Amino acid sequence: MVKVVETDLDFSSLSERSVTDMVVIHHTGCNDIDASAEQIHGWHKGQGWAGIGYHYVIRKDGTIERGRPEWAIGSHAYGENSHTIGIHVSGDFEQAEPTVEQVENCAELIADICTRYGIPIDRAHIVGHGELMATSCPGTNLQMLLDNGIITGKANYYANPSEVKPVDGAQQEGNRLTERFNSLASVPEWAYDTVKKMVDKGLLTGGGLKDAGGYPADLDLSLDMLRIFVINDRAGLYD
């Protein structure tokens, strides 16, 4: 069960949603700030709305805050609010990357919601705001994690850990989600070339501790960071 921090926000009026068959992902945009549910509640009230339009807010440290009650019709995706739940991931993902904690907890929250409502965890039912209307929300860097199947892959894993493995490169890595990789030698084979390239280029330096080969021995990388690095590498970001 996902831990949700209750915020006890006051709403002027709410109505109940009768259908729930889709989850829509958003970001803050404009500024890469760690917006809280209470803060967004204030912004949306200021626009004359009942209160915060999203049902959940995921802070940069991964904390999941309650926004609008889950049973209520939200105000986050024009024309699509009557059948959707809105998740806001705090930050501007046109310029920043979602944190590992945000990605992980977003997937876990999606798994929880989809399990309770019987929603299939696939790209037809888990969408970015910009897939429903013309907007750059939830930002290129978060949308990419939807498009390459990372978020739905992880959500499927959380919904059914014994049956489904997270994603391609991590098929044998399901039990390594909390492991830290400190040296080149400890990095899984599929990520080795990328990490070596990043070390060679001085993009990854560690804290100063070296192994016998003169490479950093305190990289402190998580499996999720490795996945993102490999995706970035494929996109040519480190060339």
Residues that bind Zn ion (CB under 5 A): 26, 129, 137
Residues near 130 by beta carbon (within 8 Å), at least 6 away in sequence: 136, 137, 138, 143
Q: Minimum distance from CB of 84 to Zn ion (Å)?
A: 11
Q: Compare residues 133 and 237 and give the one whose CB is closer to Zn ion.
A: 133
Q: Compare residues 47 and 178 and give the one whose CB is closer to Zn ion.
A: 47
Q: Compare residues 100 and 132 and give the one whose CB is closer to Zn ion.
A: 132
Q: Minimum distance from CB of 76 to Zn ion (Å)?
A: 6
Q: Minimum distance from CB of 24 to Zn ion (Å)?
A: 7
Q: How far apart are the first and last CA of the chain?
A: 41
Q: Minimum distance from CB of 74 to Zn ion (Å)?
A: 11
57: three-class secondary structure by DSSP:
strand
Are 57 and 90 spatial neighbours (Cβ–Cβ below 8 Å)?
yes
Which candidate, 56, 58, 75, places its Cα nearest to that of 66? 56
CA 26 to chain centre: 10
Q: Compare residues 137 and 225 and give the one whose CB is closer to Zn ion.
A: 137
Q: Compare residues 30 and 235 and give the one whose CB is closer to Zn ion.
A: 30
Furthest C-alpha separation in the chain: 65
Are 129 and 76 spatial neighbours (Cβ–Cβ below 8 Å)?
yes
Could you tell me the sign of the dihedral formed by the alpha carbons of 151, 154, 158, 162, in that order? positive
